[in-house]
Amino acid sequence: MSRAGPSLLCPGCGERYEAAERFCPSCKLPLTYEGSEAQGDPASDLHRRARKIKPQLAEGRLIRVAGARNQAEAEFIQSLLLEEGVPSVLRRSPGFDVPDFLAAGPRDILVPESGVPTAREVLLQAELISPAGPEPTVAPVRLAAALVAALVLGALIVWGALQLTA
């Protein structure tokens, strides 16, 4: 049973579909409402953005590829990535106590795993990241073991000094 309403149009091949469809089966592009771009529909901007995304770069778990100092800088980086077909998501960086409604505060830019090489290449060309890549992180267990070893060594030195003076 089909619903009555506006028909959807594929921007690639021009075929018409029912309102229940979201993507063109042959082109794999998001469908738009017929005549929506002429009417100035805000959804048409979202569809234009969605058509820029390359499906092969939108697979896998999200990985952080860059950081930004604020919302505006993060959206700029997101636009650079979108021009190359890489979808991205912005996330407030953890550990910063800034209310969510403010544009202040650092943001993380996350991209799907399949889009990471392309995203890194785009960000390197724009000189937004260093060629060395992200700094290596220390595993918490390894850090705790090193701190305990340093504490034991310090205690042995203090104990040895007390034994020499006694």
| Domains of the chain: residue spans and CATH | 8-52 (no CATH), 56-125 (3.30.70)
Give the other-Cβ count within 10 Å of 83's Cβ. Answer: 9
pLDDT at 1: 37
pTM of the model: 0.56
Q: Dump pLDDT digits (tens) for 9-65.
A: 887 788 888 877 777 888 777 777 776 554 445 556 776 777 788 888 888 999 999
pLDDT at 73: 93
Amino acid symbol at 2: S
